[in-house]
Structure formats: C-alpha cells, structure tokens
Structure 1
Amino acid sequence: MGDKYEYRALKTGYGDEKSTADPVELREDAEDEVENSRIEAVRLVVPVTDDPSLISVTFRFWVISLFFSVIGSVINQYYYFRTTTGSFSIFFVNLASYGLGKSMARVLPMKRVSLGFYAISLNPGPFNVKEHALIGIAVSTAAFSAYAIDILTAMDLFLHHRIDPFGALVLIITTQCLGYGMAGVLRKYLVYPAEMVWWPNLVQVVFYNAMHNTDEFRTKKMVRGWSYMKFFWVLCGVLFVYEFIPQFLAPIFIYFDWLCWINPFNMDFWAIFSSMTGGGVFSLSFDWTSIGGSTLYLPLAAQLCNYGGMVLMFWIIMPIMWLTNTLGTKTFGRPLTSHLYYSNGTDFNILEYLKADYSLNEDMYNAGPPAVMTPMYALGFFCSFIALAGCVSHVICFNGADLWRSWKMAIGDMDEDIHTKMMKVYPEMPQLWYAIFYLLMVALSIMVCEVYGLQLTWWGLIVACLMGWVLTLPICAMTAITGFGPGLNVITELICGYMLPGKPIANMTFKCYGYMAMYQCMSLLSDLKLGHYMKIPPRSMFVAQLWGAIIGGVFNYFTMIVIINSRRSYLDGTEQDPNGLWTGVSADTFWGSALIYGALGPKRMFSSQGNYGFVFYGLVIGAVIPVMQWGLSKRFPHVAWSKFNISIIAGGMTAFPNGYVVGVLPSIIVCVVFQFYLFRYHKGWWSKYTFILSAALDTGAAFTGLFIFLFLGGGISPKLSVSVPSWWANYYTPEGDNAPYLMVDRCGAAGGKWTGGTL
C-alpha cells in the first residue's frame, strides 16, 4: 500500500444523476497524489470527502433552526443598541443544536407525517453533519440586525414617526431577500472558484467536522491528548467566566484608556486618548468581543492594511487636526460625532426645517445659517469614496484574471476546483427560481415605498437595485479573497442625494435597498461557500437561507420596538447612560447621513465653495492608486504590490462612525502573533489549533453576553435585572452619572469642568 491518496466518487461519477447512497471517499492505494484545493489554508482544513446519502432538511432542522433563529435575531438586535460590539455567536448555536439534535434523534419516533403535499419523517436517523451545518446556516441568516431597522429606528427616535407593523415587516423582509436573485447568478463566479475562500467559513468547517468526529478529525489530538471538542470546551468555559469582568463587573476593561488617566480632565487628552469619544491612541481592551476571533486567521496583509488605516486616521491625523484646530475641529466640542452643527458649534436641529411630509423646507433653511458637519466626519466620507473606488480598481487590476478564469470555468472551458466537482453530485438550484423570487421582492419593495410614505419613487428603487448589481461583483470578490470589503452605503446616499434632494427618508430607503441588496447577497454567497465546503445540496441551501431571513426579520422588528419603548431617552440622546452600555449611535449615524445627503443634499454639504468639497477626490484617488500599483508590479514583479490594498486601508480609516475605535492595539498584537509568527514558523501548530481556538473564544464571549442579557440584564424579566455596585472599575455616583468623569473609562470632565485643552 502506498503513502499517497487519490480522490474518487464511488459509482456515481459527476454526471447529472443524483446519488442516493454512495459516499465519496479517499483511498490509500492510489498511485498519484490526491487532488485538492489550490489554496493552502483550504487544503489544511477542508476534507475532500462526501456522503451524498445524508439528508439535510429534516424535521429536526425546522424545529431547531426556528428556536435559535428567534433567539439569535433578538440578541443581535439587542447588541445594535449597545456600546459593545458583541454578537450572538454561531458557535453557541452549533454547540446547543448538536445536543438538541442528538437528543431528538434518540427520543423522536420513526414516524412519517404529512402536511398537505409535504411529507417528512420525524426521525430519519442519526443527527448528521450536513443537517447540523444547515441549521447553522439558517440561524446565521437570521441572527443579525436587519439594515432596515436603521430606517425604522431613526424615524421613531428622531422624527417620532412609527409606521404600522405590516409595512415595517414588508420593508425588512424585502431588503433582506433582494440579494437572493443576485447570489443565484453570481455564485458561479464568487462561490465555485477556489480563490473565493470566504475565510470565516474555514472555522465553521473545522468546528462541524470536529463535533461529528468525521474523517481525520477522529485521530487528531490536541494538547495533553485532548480531543478537539474537549479543547474547545475548556477554552470556551475559561473565557465564559472571564468575560463577566469586562462585560458586567468592570466595563472599564473594555475601554482601558490608560494614557488618558495622566490628565483625565484635560480636553486634549480626552479627545486623543479616550476610545469612547476620541481616537483611543494606544488604548487597550481586555474584552475579547473587541478583538474577535477573525484576527487569528484572516490574511496578514489584509489585517495590517485595515489596522494601518485605523492608526493613520485616529492616532495620527485626528490628533493633529484636533490640536491644530484644523477646519475648526475643536469648535464642535468633540472630535468624533455624526451630529450636524451651525458654524459656531451649536447643535443643528433638522426638525425645525422639515415640512409635514418630512421633506426640507428650503425657503426656511435658506433664510438662516447653514448646517455644517465636523471635519472628521467629512474625512470619513472622503475615505469611504477611496475605499469603494479602490475596491473596484484593485479587483480589476489584480483579480481580473481570476474572474475571467471563473467565467471560462462557468461555461466549461477550464478545470474546476475539486470541491466544485464534488458538488455536481447534487441537482443545481434553477436560475428561474432565483429570478422569480427577485422580481417578487422588487414588486413588494415598490409597494411598501409607495404606500407607506417612504419618499422613494418606483424609478428610484430601480436605480438602487441596478447599483447593487453593478458593484456587488468587485466588492464580494475582495471580501471573499481578503476578508475585507467596502459597503455601498456612502455612494448610494450620494446618488440619491442628487436624484431626490430634500428627502431624508427617501435617502435612507434608497441606501437600504441599494446597500442591503449587495450586503445580503454577500452574506448568502458566504453561506453558499460553507455549503460548498460541507457538500450540502444547493436546493436545501435556498430553503434554509430564505427561512432564516424571514424569521430573523420578524423578531428584529419586535425586539426593536421593546427596546425603544424602554430605553428611548438613552437612545435619542436626551439622557446619557451613566454606565456607557446603551447607545443610539448606529441610528444616529444613519440619520446624520440622511440629513447630510437627503435633507440638505450633497450640493449644499460638499460644494466646491465649502470646506468639504475635497471629499469627491476620494473617488479619483481610490481608482488611480491600484492602477499605479499594477504598473509597478509589472516593472518590479518580485514585490507583492497587491498586498498593499488601498481599499482596505481606507476602510480602516472609516472605523468611526461605524463603531467606537476600541481594541486596535490588542488586535494588532494578536494578528501579528498568529498570522505572522505562528503561521510562518509553526505552521503545524497554526493549522491544528487556530480555527478551533477562534471558535472557542468567540463562543465563550457570546455565552457570557447571552447570559448577562437573559439573567442579569432583565432580558427574561425586569425583575431579574441586576446592578453592580459602584466601584473604581465601573465608577458612577448614586445620582446616576460618572461625575466627576464624563464616561465609564474615567476620562473626560463631567459637566464641562475641564482643566485645560479647550479653545
């Protein structure tokens, strides 16, 4: 017997007929080396085996996916209104659904039930890995905050206008589902090629195979002879206990702004070193949710570009602009905010200038002083334009050949990736299904815009959909290859601002449909790649993703209503949460952009005569730099020019207003240790431990957040709400504020009692 392997499919081949029983296996008596992926990380973790007889859509799938989709959508909607960036980890779902699935397989009767034309077995046999993965895919589709929630929240908080539940749900579901038709068309280019890795899926592949003890995972042992799952549970448990410190007992360890403590009541120190309201220069964070498991495995060059952009913007450019008061940066009282002001620094209230239909009263606005934005916010728009144009240009220059090969592969002119060959055992999802579903969602979208006064015309909606089609390919290609990619939010705002000036709700709606079609398509493509790696039939994938999108949207909406009704004063800015846990910054940023591009319009805000006309040059810079790099790569081919990605750098520079600038330094440290030192010098250790370690740490942190929400934060009942006594790590006074400090990071002067650093 030789020591090499070959891949073969028993009896079935790769024709159009579906296999019903014969597994795909590896043989040890082969003469030639096994065919495998061209991508090293994929070769290390994705098995080239399959058992087509396994059933994925089962009664257990429907029950378990429904249960966790509800919980996940509620938890992630909860985090939308929190200052920390935690989430409902899919690894928690994987663990809990594994136990439930095994239990149901033991206790359910072997009985078949019929629901009209649909018949299903209550217990088709052992709980299998494909069934398990499909549950995770359905839940991951449901378990995030739908982008349409931003529209509904902004209207509710800042316009005091709430549309009825039916209209809200149609808005959410249509924005979630438009991406399905696009994903169906683009899967040949963004799923089937080996180069389209979709990096987070590798963690999932390791996790599912480890849990089900498949293939080589039966024999792999970890430290001290532990199995994969024992290693996972130990690390998960340790982090679960530890995370109670930053997430509950001592939130100061989320924002460990140690340099600010040198002079906490000096405004310059606060603006530069506070990670809650400023640049967070050299700030630390001991909260794993601020670092994240993706730092362990995303490509090193892409991560360094991203963090390099953050450092450049928030550790270098912002302090210089603040200290020199460039463009009046200090005038507005804080360096990072999406609010609009008058030129003297007083707040601008758009409600005073809106008509009854929420469009701008231009005569009234033109009669008074103009609104302005803060310089750092304007610079963020500039960087967003660089990121978008840079993405398109970079993909054309450095990945155009791969996309061309993918097109040739799609029409059968080239050899395919091994995993694509293996998937030919299963019937494809007809393109007609995707097309019909897409047209139905477009029709419902037009209906909700026309009936519920969202200001967006039918032709405006068509333009938004066309933008999604044009820009989805380059953005998703970059995301699949590097793990990073820009969004369409800024460019959609800009175009709608010129098309429909003076209409802020139309601008939010246009952005949601234009951006969300791309984003949801990207999410679906990523899940399709996971199904590709796990060999799940394409038609089962369609069912699972649609199921998750509908369940998630419904429970996103009802969670939003409950939280707004109970925390409105913290979310709309009329009061400040003394512990720094509740925030409306996401909705505030969304609404601020709508005011800039929608109500006031880009002509006013970015005119060539104003301070911020420079933002449009970002499109030129982003488009030109990759072309220059491509030219240099031809002249100096030994230099990896493609790794310097201006789109990812500019994306890092726009970390705010998408969130607080937290955890930059510890993330850089973790990234360099894992992706440079361990990957380069201890590759065996890296391939064995990295993905399961990432899963364990992310799951432990998610468990903690879920436990706190349900049992300590009043998630189940307000009677269970627990307040931690005031102490130095969560300092606040009995009166309900952090006096004399401005925020929980013990930085900044409450009540404006600054000792220096002001104008």
Structure 2
Amino acid sequence: MATLSNSNIQEFSDRKEEFLDEKADIERSDVVLEEEEENSCIEAVRAVVPITDDPSLPVMTFRFWVLSTLFSIIGAMINQYYYFRTTSGTFSIYFVNLATYGMGVAMARTLPTGSISVFGYSMSMNSGPFNIKEHCLMGIAVSTASTYAYAIDILAATDLNLKYRIPTLGSLILILTTQCLGYGMAGMLRKFLVYPAQMVWWANLVQVVFYNAMHNTDEFKSKRMIRGWSYMKFFWVICGCMFIYEFLPQWLAPMFVFMDWICWIKPFDFDFWALFSSFSGSGIMSISLDWNSIGGSTMWLPLATQVCLYGGMVLSYWIILPILWLNNIMGAKTLGAPLTPSLFYSNGTKFQVTNFMNSDHTLNEGEYNAGPPATMTPMYALNFFWSFVSLAGCVTHIAFFHGRDILDSWKASVGSSTEDIHTKKMRVYPEMPQSWYAIFYVIMVALSIFTCYEYDLQLPWWGFLIACVLGWVMTLPVCALVAITGYGPGLNVITELICGYMLPGRPIANMVFKTYGYMVMGQCQNLLQDLKLGHYMKIPPRAMFVAQFWGTIVGGLFNYMTMILIINSHRDILDGTETDPTGLWTGNSPATFWGSALIFGALGPKRMFSSEGNYGFVFYGFVLGAIIPIILWALSKKFPNVQWGKFNIALVASGMSFFPYGLTQSVLVCIITFMISQFYLHRYHKNWWNKYIFILSAALDTGAAFTGLVVFLFLGGGVSPTLSVAVPSWWANYYTPEGNNAPYLFTDRCGAFNGSWTSGTL
C-alpha cells in the first residue's frame, strides 16, 4: 500500500483549505444574492438605501436629547423670525446635520460615561461612539420643530388686525392641536403610506445618502467618487463652490436671478412686460442663474412628475396667459398686472374689502351692494379652477391607477412573504400600537373643540368636525401622490371656500377652519415623510414617536414665544401704523392671511363664484379633474402598451396654478436641469446617476442655503442694521441713489418705473 508523503499531506491540506474558502465565498454570495432578490422594487431606493441594520445601536441617547432640543429651539426661533422679515431665509436641515455631527462626535470623545436620572429614567451620558441612528433621529426631531406652526397665522392676524391677543394657554393649545392632529393621523395611516415599497417619499433619499456618507457606513466605504474622493470630500468641494458662487445672484448681481432677456428688446412696452417679465408676468423664456430658483429636487424627482408639472406651467403661463392678455379677455389688461391676488373694480381701481366692514368684522351688505362688485384678474380666477382640477384629479388618479396597488402593498406590508425588505428589517423592533395614535388623536380633537368654544374662535363643533373629515378624506390620496410622485396639491383653497359657504360672515372661523383642514393634512404629510426616513434608517418606531412629539412641543412653544417678543417690540411697524426705516420688518404674512379670511369669510365665495357672475366656471374644475383620470384609466385597459398613468392631471393642474403671485423665472432652467438629469443621465449614464445625483443635489442645496444665511445675517442687516452692506451700483445690480430701479420697474430691466409705457397699452 502506498503511503502519503508529507508533501502529499500538505497538498491535500492546501486543497481542502481552498475548497472550504470557495465554499464560504459561495455561501456569502448566496446570502448577498438572496438579499439582492429581496431588495426594494424601486430602482432609486435600491441604489441608495442600505438593506443592512444593526439593532444594537443606541438611539434615545443623552446626546440626542441635548442636541435635538438645542437645535429645535434655534430652528423654531429662526423660522418664526423670518416670518416677520422682508427677506426670506431658511434653517437648512443640512446645516443641522453637519453641526450635530461635529458636536455629537465631540461629545462622544469628551463626556464621562456616568449615568444621570431624569424623572426616574436613567441614561448614560456617553453611550459610546456617535452613531448614524441617533444622528438621524436628531434631524427628524429638529425638522419637526423647525416648521413654523401654521396656527401662528391666526394668532398674529388677530393680534395685529383686531388688537385682540388670544390668552397664552389658548394660544399654546391651538398650536399644539393643529400640529398634533396630523401627527395622530400619520400614525394611523403609516401602514398605507409608509410601509409599502411604492411609497418612496423621494426627498428622503437625499437624506439617506447624506447620513451614510457622513458616517462612512460599510455600504459607502467602497464607493469612490471622481479622483478617488470619498462621498464627504465630494460633498464639501461642491458645497464650497456653490457657497462662493451664490454670492453673485444673492448679493452682488440680483439681476442674475431675473434674466428676462426677451423683455430687454422693448423694456417699456406694456405687452412685453406682461409676457416676458418674470417678476409679475409670464416670464416666457426667462433664465435664472440662482440655484435657489432651481433646487436639487429637479435632479431626482421622477421624470414623469416633472414633465407633468412643468408642462402645466408652460401651458398656463406661456400659452394661456398671453392669449388672455393680448385679447384683453375678462379685462386682463384693464386690471393691471397679469399675476396678482388683489381684487379690483371693473375699471382697474383696487377694491378694498375693509371699506365695507362692520365693527364686528362682518360685511356691510347694504354698502357693498350699493356699489359695483369686486372682480379679479383672469389668471387668479383660473388659479381656483386649476386647484379644483388638481384636487379632484388627485383623488380619482390615485383611486384608479394606484388603488389596487396600495391595497395589495398594504397587505404585503403586514407580514406576507412578499413584504418590502425594509419593512421586514423593521420587524425586529417593537411596533407603536395603533391604539396609542388613535387615543392621542381623540384627545387632540377634544382639546381643539374646547379651544374653539373657550376662546371664541367662531368655529362651532360641527364645523371643526367637518374640517377633520375633509382632512381624513384628502390625506390618503394627496399623501399617496406625494409619496409616489414627489409632489401633491394643498388644501388651502378648498378649505377657505367650504368655510366661506358654510359660515359666511365669520372671518375668524374661516382662518381656524382653514388651519385645521389644511394644516392637519400638511402636518400629517411632513410627519409621514419623517416616518419613512426612520423606516429607511431602521430607527425603532417608538423612538420615532417620542422624537416627533418632542420636536412638535418644543417647536410650537418657541414659535409662540418668538412671535410675542417680535410683536411686542415692533407692533406699530407690523400693523402698518408706522414704516420701518430699516426696511427689514414686515407684517405682510399675517396681513395676507387676514385679507384672505376677509375675502372668503366676510365677502364670501357665494358672491365671487356665483353662477350668474364671471367666475362660476371654476367649479367645473371638479368635474374635469374627476373625469380625465377615468378616461386615461379606460385607455390604459384598451391600449396597455401605452403608459397612460404617467399623465397625471393632478400634477399638470398643480403646475398650471404654481405662480398665482408671479416670480416665474425658474421654469426654463428647471426644464433644462431635469431633462439633463432625469432624461439624459438617468437613461444613458445610469451608473453615474445612481452614484452622484443625490449627494450632488444635497451639496448644491446646502451651499446655496449657507450663502443665504450669511448674506441675511452679516450683509443684509439680519443681526443688526449696522451690518447691512450695500453693493455699489453696477450693470447687474442697477439702482439709483433714491433706492429704486428707475427707469425700470424692477431688477429684471423690464417695465416702466413711473407707468409711462411707450407702447402695448389699450
């Protein structure tokens, strides 16, 4: 018998090791393939959202409570501060993410590991390395707090216009209930609007990439950008370049924001001004070189969504408006600017509803009926028409094209074998009981009714319940549309009209009904989007509940405190009694909210939209919006090879009513941007698109936001009027020593400053 030599034994051993290694590699490959097969059915989600999770990472840490509270206070105060300023500003969530990352890492390195107790709850001051989950949860809490409470409009309007301040307790309950009703709804609807894979919530994908890039997670370590850069190096280089560039349009050369180049041919022609000025007209073929006018969302929102939106804008503002204007249909030229929400008499004189008000802020019908009726510009009337088309179209489009998918995906999200991989990963965490959200919602309803009666807000209990029903009916289709397409209509117009018919002559009730009906859906949408972000980042549901509620409480409290401080110190300026010598403070926002309440609550939609009047046609928008999706759905059954569902009348109509007050400078550049990104790059360079587009979008938006903050605080007088720095007059920042743009109307070099038109008038 042959014996094995040492060399044979060694060779056999080496081959055995190779075999075992190959077997291990095959097993690992099988696991990867199995996970890939289970990955999301949405291509963009597969590209950027990791399917791994580490349930051991601590979330509700001491660092979370400290940093989320600090930045929630700052965000709430800054956004409320901007509410009363002439120049707008934003509290960028990317700034919050960057700042909390640096501070979180520093706290992890320096804090002791001892424990502290708060209300009997003990936690470690330093729970280890700063991790991605607690970081994301901080951002969610801060984003909840940094959205200024819509109820502030009611409080500021009554305080400044009626000289009546709702007591502090009633004000705080009003803020709390308007914010938290949507919160309760979000919790109860999450199985429909969060768990299914089809509910993408597109804006969250940018955040997912941003958090993973900052924390250099395993999935992102192997990804290298141009020149071998890491994701964060690429982010900082692009962000820095945009930060420097944005000083040009935001400060040095404001004409670059409104480059109405066709208007320069005949700048003092009335027709050219109306059709080519982007400040208050159609802005046909106008160009904006300001990234704030474009926005990163144009780079990643679905192509079909943007084609519908911008197609609607082109149809409405580049085609319909010129036809109405040049033919003076419905007195378009007589009423002055093509895009304005103001009311007029038929001869073009401005109508002031306050001239016909009684002391209790109801309409004096005798005085009003004795004179000529109020009228509105054709485009403003069409804005209502298109809003109704959008709302009805949203409901029927979702019902016919996505209803079965939503139902099937909901069934799949609650335990079937085909459920989304991210939903399956979340099953390791204790769920937030549905009953908790339901009880929370009932408590908020009771508090809301108590507030309406106790503080005389003119809204009866049955009116409030109708507002709640409206919110429930519209939230599912609208939020589903936003989750699937990235965009959806609001309820502000329909709520004003319903209350105007239901409770005529009650402007305060109109404001309250609008806030509960519109904001409940709006707040629910924001919270659902955050819940989806937590879903992608694998944050425990109960931690999400606490973080969102904490952000709501802190944000509402400091919104209110900031409002009171500003009104107390600048009341005469904000209510119009005096003119602000610095030009920095304004009460336009609460004045606009109050004016809308007077028009719909006091004057009433019955007068404006009667069947005998000029604007009775607006209600046919409901019929048009309801019918078109049904026709398209029927065509999809007859001709299944054509993607009829991509044509969304709700989005087209939203685009057609996108600029009711002007500022149309972004249409052309947005079309160019999304065609390059979503058509060319996504179709022909998909790997490049998957790798770069979301982090590129975040970097560009962050750089532009940082520039706006620096300009506002240190160059525009935000911190102190003494820090206001005026740029010398030059061709891209033209102004006279008197502080105007004479002989032009505005920086866009279009329109006659003194109204002396050379041609184009009637």
TM (norm. structure 1) is 0.92
Q: CA-atom RMSD, angstroms?
A: 2.7
1:689-708 map, 5 Å: 689-708=692-711
Is the CA contact (8 Å cut-off) linking 2:413 and 2:420 kept in structure 1?
no
Is the CA contact (8 Å cut-off) linking 2:400 and 2:629 kept in structure 1?
yes
- CA offset at residue 333 of structure 1? 1.3
Correspondence 1:497 to 2:500: yes
- CA offset at residue 753 of structure 1? 2.3
SS in 2 for 1:739: coil
| Residues matched between the structures, number | 741
Partner of 1:387: 390
- CA offset at residue 44 of structure 1? 0.9
Partner of 1:633: 636
SS in 2 for 1:730: coil
SS in 2 for 1:331: coil
- CA offset at residue 644 of structure 1? 0.5
- CA offset at residue 85 of structure 1? 7.0
Aligned counterpart for 2:552 among listed residues 549, 552, 572? 549
Partner of 2:749: 746
Aligned counterpart for 1:64 among listed residues 60, 63, 67? 67
Partners of 1:752 and 1:211 in 2: CA distance: 54
Partners of 1:267 and 1:29 in 2: CA distance: 65
CA deviations over 1:613-644 (Å, ceiling 9, x no partner):
00000000000000000000011111110011
- CA offset at residue 703 of structure 1? 0.9
Which deviates more, 591-600 or 544-553?
591-600
Is the CA contact (8 Å cut-off) linking 2:429 and 2:540 kept in structure 1?
yes
Is the CA contact (8 Å cut-off) linking 1:464 and 1:513 kept in structure 2?
yes
Question: How much identity, in percent, do the aligned residues show?
Answer: 68
Q: CA 1:484–1:741 in 2, change beyond 3 Å: closer, same or farther?
A: same
Partner of 1:464: 467
Correspondence 1:177 to 2:177: no
- CA offset at residue 251 of structure 1? 1.6
Correspondence 1:611 to 2:614: yes
Correspondence 1:666 to 2:666: no
SS in 1 for 2:626: helix
Which deviates more, 301-310 or 502-511?
502-511
- CA offset at residue 4 of structure 1? 8.9
Partners of 2:754 and 2:401 in 1: CA distance: 53
Correspondence 1:90 to 2:93: yes
Correspondence 1:111 to 2:94: no
- CA offset at residue 483 of structure 1? 0.3
SS in 1 for 2:449: helix
Aligned counterpart for 2:759 among listed residues 752, 756, 759? 756
Q: CA 1:153–1:443 in 2, change beyond 3 Å: closer, same or farther?
A: same
Partners of 1:640 and 1:53 in 2: CA distance: 45
CA deviations over 1:315-373 (Å, ceiling 9, x no partner):
11112111111101122211111112222221222222222332222233223322222
Partners of 2:27 and 2:591 in 1: CA distance: 57
Aligned counterpart for 2:331 among listed residues 328, 332, 335? 328
- CA offset at residue 165 of structure 1? 4.7
- CA offset at residue 51 of structure 1? 0.4
Partner of 1:129: 132
Q: CA 1:207–1:411 in 2, change beyond 3 Å: closer, same or farther?
A: closer
Partners of 2:760 and 2:273 in 1: CA distance: 9
Partner of 1:205: 208
Correspondence 1:527 to 2:548: no
- CA offset at residue 708 of structure 1? 2.0
Which deviates more, 709-718 or 326-335?
709-718
Partners of 1:131 and 1:237 in 2: CA distance: 27
Partners of 1:423 and 1:615 in 2: CA distance: 46
1:292-441 map, 5 Å: 292-409=295-412, 412=415, 415-441=418-444
Is the CA contact (8 Å cut-off) linking 1:2 and 1:31 kept in structure 2?
no
- CA offset at residue 560 of structure 1? 4.7
Partners of 1:554 and 1:459 in 2: CA distance: 28
Partner of 1:653: 656
**Structure with greater Cα Rg:** 2
Q: Which runs of 5+ in 2 are unaligned?
A: 1-21
CA deviations over 1:492-533 (Å, ceiling 9, x no partner):
122111110122221121111001111111111111000000
Q: Which runs of 5+ in 1 are unaligned?
A: 8-25
Q: CA 1:519–1:260 in 2, change beyond 3 Å: closer, same or farther?
A: same
SS in 1 for 2:332: helix
SS in 1 for 2:47: helix
Correspondence 1:243 to 2:210: no
Q: For 1:331, give the aligned amino acid.
A: T
Q: For 1:458, give the aligned amino acid.
A: W
Runs (4+) of structure 1 exceeding 6 A deviation are: 2-7, 29-32, 82-85, 562-585
- CA offset at residue 79 of structure 1? 4.9
- CA offset at residue 704 of structure 1? 1.1
- CA offset at residue 231 of structure 1? 0.1
Is the CA contact (8 Å cut-off) linking 1:4 and 1:33 kept in structure 2?
no
Q: For 1:616, give the aligned amino acid.
A: F
Is the CA contact (8 Å cut-off) linking 1:6 and 1:35 kept in structure 2?
no
CA deviations over 1:570-606 (Å, ceiling 9, x no partner):
9778999999998776556544543332212221110
Is the CA contact (8 Å cut-off) linking 1:47 and 1:215 kept in structure 2?
no
Correspondence 1:486 to 2:457: no
SS in 2 for 1:655: coil
Partners of 1:487 and 1:151 in 2: CA distance: 18
- CA offset at residue 299 of structure 1? 0.1
Aligned counterpart for 1:291 among listed residues 282, 289, 294? 294
Is the CA contact (8 Å cut-off) linking 2:298 and 2:670 kept in structure 1?
yes
Partner of 1:144: 147
CA deviations over 1:105-154 (Å, ceiling 9, x no partner):
11111111111222222111110000010011111112223322333444
Partners of 2:568 and 2:751 in 1: CA distance: 30
Partners of 1:585 and 1:665 in 2: CA distance: 29
Partners of 1:160 and 1:757 in 2: CA distance: 45
Partners of 2:753 and 2:683 in 1: CA distance: 48
Q: CA 1:188–1:590 in 2, change beyond 3 Å: closer, same or farther?
A: same
Is the CA contact (8 Å cut-off) linking 1:578 and 1:736 kept in structure 2?
no
Partners of 1:178 and 1:6 in 2: CA distance: 50
SS in 2 for 1:547: helix
Q: For 1:289, give the aligned amino acid.
A: N
- CA offset at residue 399 of structure 1? 0.1
- CA offset at residue 713 of structure 1? 2.8
Partners of 1:288 and 1:467 in 2: CA distance: 36
Q: For 1:609, give the aligned amino acid.
A: E
Partners of 1:328 and 1:160 in 2: CA distance: 38
Correspondence 1:276 to 2:279: yes
SS in 1 for 2:375: strand
- CA offset at residue 740 of structure 1? 2.0
Is the CA contact (8 Å cut-off) linking 2:195 and 2:410 kept in structure 1?
no
Correspondence 1:216 to 2:225: no
Partners of 1:624 and 1:85 in 2: CA distance: 40
Partner of 1:20: none
Partner of 1:10: none
Correspondence 1:518 to 2:543: no
TM (norm. structure 2) is 0.92
SS in 1 for 2:732: helix
Q: For 1:241, give the aligned amino acid.
A: I
Which deviates more, 584-593 or 409-418?
584-593
SS in 2 for 1:395: helix
Aligned counterpart for 1:101 among listed residues 99, 104, 118? 104
Partner of 1:22: none
Partners of 1:702 and 1:573 in 2: CA distance: 30
Is the CA contact (8 Å cut-off) linking 1:147 and 1:512 kept in structure 2?
yes
Which deviates more, 688-697 or 651-660?
651-660
- CA offset at residue 179 of structure 1? 0.6
Correspondence 1:509 to 2:515: no
Which deviates more, 665-674 or 136-145?
136-145
Partner of 2:715: 712
Which deviates more, 217-226 or 709-718?
709-718
Is the CA contact (8 Å cut-off) linking 1:589 and 1:657 kept in structure 2?
no
- CA offset at residue 212 of structure 1? 0.7
